[in-house]
């Protein structure tokens, strides 16, 4: 049994499993109200569920423009969660919802490297959605903003070490669309930090887990799993020696909530910018090899697929040789955060989930096959 203290409303989050009536007994004060934008996405719906478990009255707003976002996710099936199909670009809707909720969790964003490369104008419009929120924030609000490790850009080309929150943000020239998304994220961080609200700005590093980016893989682990399931070569950019640090989604969600807890319990207007992820870096080729090893061991595939190096993964070329590892010093010192689920364990859990969903060595799959289990482990 584990507990997480959500200080804003003095609620003890007892995250033992869905349907546990003991959760109700942990509420010691009137529940807070929380708005989660982009709450039909992978991390958004898990955070929404965790807040609802705390006793908060949760409203999820999502325009469902991402093909993987759905209101049918089991994490959102609760009378304590209100679902609204709408966009942060709707200024009137945002004004109304921000006024109605004390806690604002802002996940709404365009997702996927190729999407941001091929649609830079839509990517820039993220900024308008965040403006529609920050314009109406007051000193009574507590905000969690989901930023990205992408804001560090090609950090590893000028720094020989992990990425610290106060390090320079360095990008290629403006004709390279790959960097539109992190530039917008950085501006959104600034808007949130300069609002009157107490704000936690969380830079998420490569989260992964069961059901993420399903059925359309957009990020590294989901893309690899998608190709594994379809018996296709695992495509790797360049020689695969670039480093990535993967963080299991349970740890990511816990880190987000701990950051929100910290600013909610502090002075009005306090701001925390913090990395949340794992500081255990591995080469991309190692991630692919470990996934193949586990997939074979679990019987998810009958024959290990080959690795395809130098693959052209995106419609525009960019420098993909940089490494990405967070400096977790601030997260550890301020939040006491460290990831608990190791990479080997997390990858195996993720693949085991797909084996249970589709069976061993199954053929192609569709969204109709997927009946994801809600979070049952304690954060």
DSSP letters for 347-360: HHHHHHHHHHHH-T
Residue-level pLDDT at 361: 61
Q: Above 90 in pLDDT, residue 90?
A: yes
Residue-level pLDDT at 139: 96
Task: Count up the domains in the chain and report the number.
Answer: 1
Please give the residue range of the domain that contains residue 38.
3-208+246-280+319-341
Confidence of residue 10 (pLDDT cuts 50, 70, 90): very low
> Is residue 202 included in any domain, yes or no?
yes
Residue-level pLDDT at 27: 28
Q: CA gyration radius for the chain?
A: 20
> Is residue 53 included in any domain, yes or no?
yes
Provide the whole-model pTM: 0.87
Confidence of residue 358 (pLDDT cuts 50, 70, 90): confident
Q: Above 80 in pLDDT, residue 121?
A: yes
> Is residue 33 included in any domain, yes or no?
yes
CATH, residue 23: 3.40.50.720
Residue-level pLDDT at 215: 67
Residue-level pLDDT at 31: 45
Strands 198-204 and 142-148: parallel
Read off the tokens for 362. Answer: 């199954």
Residue-level pLDDT at 21: 32
Q: How far apart are CA 294 and CA 231, in angstroms?
A: 15
Strands 57-62 and 81-85: parallel
Residue-level pLDDT at 19: 33
Worst-scoring range by mean pLDDT, 57-66, 109-118, 189-198, 360-369?
A: 360-369
> Is residue 240 included in any domain, yes or no?
no
HSE of 313, CA atoms in CB hemisphere, 13 A: 26
Q: How far apart are CA 39 and CA 213, in angstroms?
A: 14
**Spatial CB neighbours of 113, under 8 Å, sequence gap ≥ 6:** 178, 181, 218, 219, 313, 314
Q: Above 80 in pLDDT, residue 367?
A: no
Confidence of residue 196 (pLDDT cuts 50, 70, 90): very high
Alpha carbon 66 to its chain's center: 14
Residue-level pLDDT at 351: 93
- Measure Cα distances from 266 to 10, 140, 261, 272, 336 in Å: 13, 12, 9, 10, 16
Across residues 157-161, what is the average pLDDT? 84
Digit-coded pLDDT (tens) for 247-270: 999 999 999 999 999 999 987 889
> Is residue 26 included in any domain, yes or no?
yes
Residue-level pLDDT at 311: 86
> Is residue 120 included in any domain, yes or no?
yes
Confidence of residue 18 (pLDDT cuts 50, 70, 90): very low
Q: Please name the residue that has the structure tokens 């109200």.
A: 33
Q: Percent of the chain beyond pLDDT 70?
A: 86
Across residues 2-15, what is the average pLDDT? 35
- Mean residue pLDDT of the chain comes to 86
Q: Which helix (H) or strand (E) holds 276?
A: strand 271-276
Report which of residues 269 and 347 the model is more confident about: 347
> Is residue 304 included in any domain, yes or no?
no
Q: Above 60 in pLDDT, residue 29?
A: no
Read off the tokens for 332. Answer: 């550890």
Residue-level pLDDT at 264: 94
> Is residue 361 included in any domain, yes or no?
no
Q: Above 60 in pLDDT, residue 378?
A: no
């Amino acid at each position: 049994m584990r507990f997480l203290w959500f200080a804003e409303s003095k609620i003890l989050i007892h995250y033992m499993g869905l349907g546990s009536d003991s959760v109700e007994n942990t509420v010691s004060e009137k529940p807070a109200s929380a708005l989660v934008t982009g709450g039909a996405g992978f991390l958004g719906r898990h955070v929404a569920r965790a807040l609802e478990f705390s006793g908060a009255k949760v409203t999820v707003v999502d325009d469902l423009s991402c093909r993987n976002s759905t209101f049918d996710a089991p994490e959102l099936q609760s009378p304590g969660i209100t679902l609204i199909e709408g966009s942060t670009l709707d200024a009137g809707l945002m004004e109304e919802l921000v006024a109605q909720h004390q806690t604002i969790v802002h996940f709404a964003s365009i997702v996927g490297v190729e999407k941001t490369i091929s649609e830079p104008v839509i990517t820039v419009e993220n900024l308008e959605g965040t403006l529609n929120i920050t314009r109406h924030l007051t000193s009574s609000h507590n905000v969690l903003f989901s930023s990205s490790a992408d804001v560090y850009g090609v950090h590893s080309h000028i720094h020989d070490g992990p990425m610290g929150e106060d390090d320079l943000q360095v990008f290629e020239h403006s004709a390279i669309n790959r960097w539109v998304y992190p530039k917008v994220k950085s501006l959104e961080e600034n808007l949130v930090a300069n609002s009157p609200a107490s704000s936690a700005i969380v830079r998420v590093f490569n989260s992964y887990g069961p059901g993420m980016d399903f059925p359309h893989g957009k990020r590294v682990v989901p893309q690899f799993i998608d190709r594994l399931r379809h018996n296709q070569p695992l495509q790797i950019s360049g020689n695969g020696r670039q480093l990535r640090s993967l963080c299991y989604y349970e740890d990511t969600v816990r880190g987000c909530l701990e950051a929100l807890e910290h600013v909610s319990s502090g002075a009005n207007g306090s701001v925390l910018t913090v990395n949340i992820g794992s500081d255990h870096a591995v080469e991309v080729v190692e991630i692919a090899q470990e996934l193949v090893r586990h997939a074979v061991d679990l019987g998810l595939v009958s024959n290990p697929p080959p690795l395809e190096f130098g693959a052209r993964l995106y419609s525009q070329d960019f420098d993909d040789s940089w490494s990405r590892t967070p400096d977790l010093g601030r997260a550890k010192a301020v939040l006491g955060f460290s990831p608990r689920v190791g990479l080997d364990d997390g990858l195996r859990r993720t693949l085991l989930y797909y084996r249970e969903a589709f069976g061993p060595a199954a053929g192609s799959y569709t969204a109709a096959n997927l009946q994801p289990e809600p979070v049952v482990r304690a954060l």
